[in-house]
Amino acid sequence: DAALGRRREASHGAGTGYVPGGVYEYRTTLDAPEEYRDRRVLLEFEGVYRTAMIYVNGSLAGHRATGYTGFTVDLDDHLRYGADNEIRVVCRTHDDSRWYSGAGIHRPVHLVVGSLTHIALDGVVVTTEDVDAEFAVVEVATTVEHDGRGLARLDVRTEIRDGNGTVVASATSPVTVLPGEPAVVRHRISVAGPALWSPDSPALYEASVSLQDSGTAVDDDVVSFGIRTLHLDPERGLRINGEPVTLRGA
């Protein structure tokens, strides 16, 4: 957070925590080896406050107006492979907040390097649909993206693991993806004798998704989730797994 070391004064106003505003700049050097040439290379920013402009070797590669939501910047068209690359982030604060919002890069930044055909970022969504004491139906929706040429034909394998890491259910489906047209693979998987998540017993499972080409994994992702039912109505309030849960201070 670029504002943490700055001197606080009352004249700057309570809305920013008495911290002065300004323009901030970050620089770093990224070594891009030759093998990145046939890969997808992204920078994932979890939060930059605000009006972020991202430059790669002097060229504008991406921008983001808001300061709280995450975004990604595609580096592929700007990198010099087999050489060092300058990454520069320029951002500025605005007098538009009712609380201390910080300044600059206030959340983590990730370098994402993947194959041309890959699972989309945050591309695995888990929903617990039908749940009872004997069985639970878990839907795992996986978005697959293809940035190469021609059709890509692969397999998507989903494994559900319990809290001990044991595979309790699985499913595999083929997927065909066109360049620039993401495909969604939905697996409806039955889990026997599910350990239900609740505030008193927060049991968790993992959905492990692997994108495979002729049996070789080219990308994977893991999402933690709880198997539970949620109901909310004005008569009985919030119920988790059929049991009422009192919310205080909401």
Whole-structure pTM value: 0.86
User: How far is residue 247's CA from residue 190's CA, in Å, rounded to a whole number?
Assistant: 31
Q: Per residue of the chain (250 residues), what is the pLDDT tens digit?
A: 888 888 888 988 877 778 888 899 999 999 999 999 999 999 999 999 999 999 999 999 999 999 989 999 999 999 999 999 999 999 998 877 777 777 899 999 999 999 999 999 999 999 998 998 899 999 999 999 999 999 999 999 999 999 999 999 999 999 999 999 999 999 999 999 999 999 999 999 999 999 999 999 999 999 999 999 999 999 899 999 999 998 887 6
User: How far is residue 94's CA from residue 164's CA, in Å, rounded to a whole number?
Assistant: 48
Q: DSSP of 31-96, one letter per residue? A: EE-GGGGGSEEEEEES-EESSEEEEETTEEEEEES-SSS-EEEE-TTT--TTEEEEEEEEEE--S-
Q: What is the CA radius of gyration of the chain?
A: 23
